[in-house]
Structure 1
Amino acid sequence: MTANSRLVLLAVAAVIQPGLGLAPMLDHDHHPAAWLAYALFALVTLGCAGWVARRRPLPAPVVAGGVVAVFAASAIATWALPPDDHFGPAHWSIGLVGWQLLVLLGDRLGVLLAALSAHVALSVVQWVLAGTPDRVEVGGAGVVLLGVTSFQVGTLVILRMLLRAERQADLMAAEQERATTRAVVAEQWEQDLRARFAGRLGTTLPLLADLADGVLDPRDEGTRLRCALAATQLRRLFAEHDDVPDPLVHEVAACAHVAEQRGVAVSLAVSGASVPVPAEVRRALTAPVELALAAARARARVSLLRTGTEVRVAVVSDAAVPDTQVSDTPIPDTPIPDTPGPDTPVPGPGGTAPSPVEVETGTYGEHTRMEVRWRAS
């Protein structure tokens, strides 16, 4: 039950007690104990008002105490009736109990129905104990009970239907919001994908044009390296947008696959459990790998090591890596030393921002080793 529904029911109970209960109390000869019942009903209403007015659910102790007080007040009010006035004009409490039970137990449907049934049974038992009713009195009592309880139960059914409709509307609104968010994300992803492919083709098309115009000689070693590098970079870019459980391994394997198609024997070793690596970091980690595999002649070994705080990608190939810029993360514009050097930060695209990875290169005879490291923050 919503806070607004409970507030409406409390208002109904608060209006019914003085509006329909005070006049019978004054017009008929009740036992003085009836005023005690009247005070108990008022106390329950006031006790619930503190939480209902603040739109807060009723605490369990308040609910339990309120139900006990309502039943006690009903029993006292029924006992204090004038003779032969059960379910008659003087029986003011019969219509008030159900509304207060709705306020107290509106969130507990099964308990509420049990409480309403118990109230009807208690009222009938008190009526029978007060004297033997005749057929006319039985019929009149049935009409009163049916009218009171059916109206209260019908109100409960309407409130629950409204609550269900409100929940369905909230679910539909939430689903619509999620669909809108997915559409925006998909559109942004598509724009980013187009921009990246456009950027990659912008560096590849001049190479193809030079080959077509005869500016570049396909037999030249530098030309073959540029073609191999462009093919590796495009293949990694395609792999970046695949939906796979381990994107980094998938992208490294894609680079290795291009080298294998050129006849290079590539071995790939992966150690450690998969860790989340942002897309821009994956590009920086695979950029030196693309260059090393593109320059490999016959053999290359790729190792991927992952720990909880660090990711390392190492490539050992049988060719020296030339002084060449790769696409997403340029290799430093310095000659590769003959011996392993210290950690060298890689500048970002355009040389305007530092790369999130560190690159270490070294040559060992006819073999070149490149290692890229990323430390998770």
Structure 2
Amino acid sequence: MQGNSEQLREVFEHFNSVTDELISAYKLLEGQVAELNSKLQRANDELVQKSAANERLAAKLTALLAAMPVGVVELDEAGTVTGVNDAATMLLPDLAEQQSWQLDALLERDAQDGEYLCRGADGSVAFVSVAEVALQGQGSFMLLVDVTHLRQLHEQLAQQAKLASMGRMAASLAHQIRTPLATALLYAANLRRADLPEEARGRFASKIVERLQALESLVQDMLSFVRSGVVGGVQEQIEVNALLQEVALIVQPLLEKKQLDWDVGMSEPAFIQAVRSDLVGALTNLVENACQFCPEHGQVRLDASVQAGQLQLRVANEGEAIAEGLQQQIFDPFFTTRAHGTGLGLAIVKRVVEDMNGAIRYTRDGEMTVFELKLPIAVTAITKGK
């Protein structure tokens, strides 16, 4: 009996010990649960705050998109419209969400400068610039900017610049005409003298013709300049070496008169698209200028070469360098350093070159003064060269 009591006592003691451990573990677990609940509550509060902040930010962005003067179209990765703001709706009233974005079907591209035309129901036309902002793995935004007003300002500025140029031209032309016209009138008045010898009469008549020819040349230069980039002739494909030979024949008498050393450097076979008379006139003008400023027995060169898909033409002479302070003005209309120059020659050359989407610049190459032209090669030139 005593043995059973001892066993029962040991069992109760073990039970109490286990119970104490369970109570301790429960209390510990209860503390951990309380701590986890506290952390969870804090995390939940932070999420609620972030969610509210995100909602406020989304509301601000929505209001900003609605108020923006720039049209915004949101696209998903498949190119489907998922959002359109008010400015975009005004430009594209037929554009709706969930339709496929096809720019060429919505807007007409302007061939002149790459912008797009947006035609309204009332017949009005707006010019729109389109840009895409790609989002990393989230589609993209299409930005539509109405540049109609900016384009009108550019056109007004160009018109004002043209009017200012015309005003300067009129003043310079009046000044240029006055001297040869006064000389011609003086000679013409002398022709009325009854006692004028025949020899003097013929000489005076020649002087009058000479002055009138100078006036005609001046008027032709003026007309060439005021074309404002409108090509007067028909463009054609011109073989470069044939062009150089044509220019060489025209300037040969002037070269012989000044006894200049003349050299023409031919290029590989190439073609350019241009109005032949304009381009021949521009090159002739450059060569004649080179002859005018080249000392007797000096060297004048006309070279052509094809570089990086462009035709490079160089007119060089052994004349003195142009003063650094004047180099920025030599292509300006009516600027000249010659006593009887009109100041339109280089301006016309620059106009012709720019009409061909080319460029011209002045430079020095050793002792040579160089005018360098870069012109685009015609597409068939590449084909024929293969």
When normalised by structure 1's length, the TM-score is 0.32
Answer 1 or 2: which has greater helix percent.
Answer: 1
When normalised by structure 2's length, the TM-score is 0.32
Answer 1 or 2: which has greater strand percent.
Answer: 2
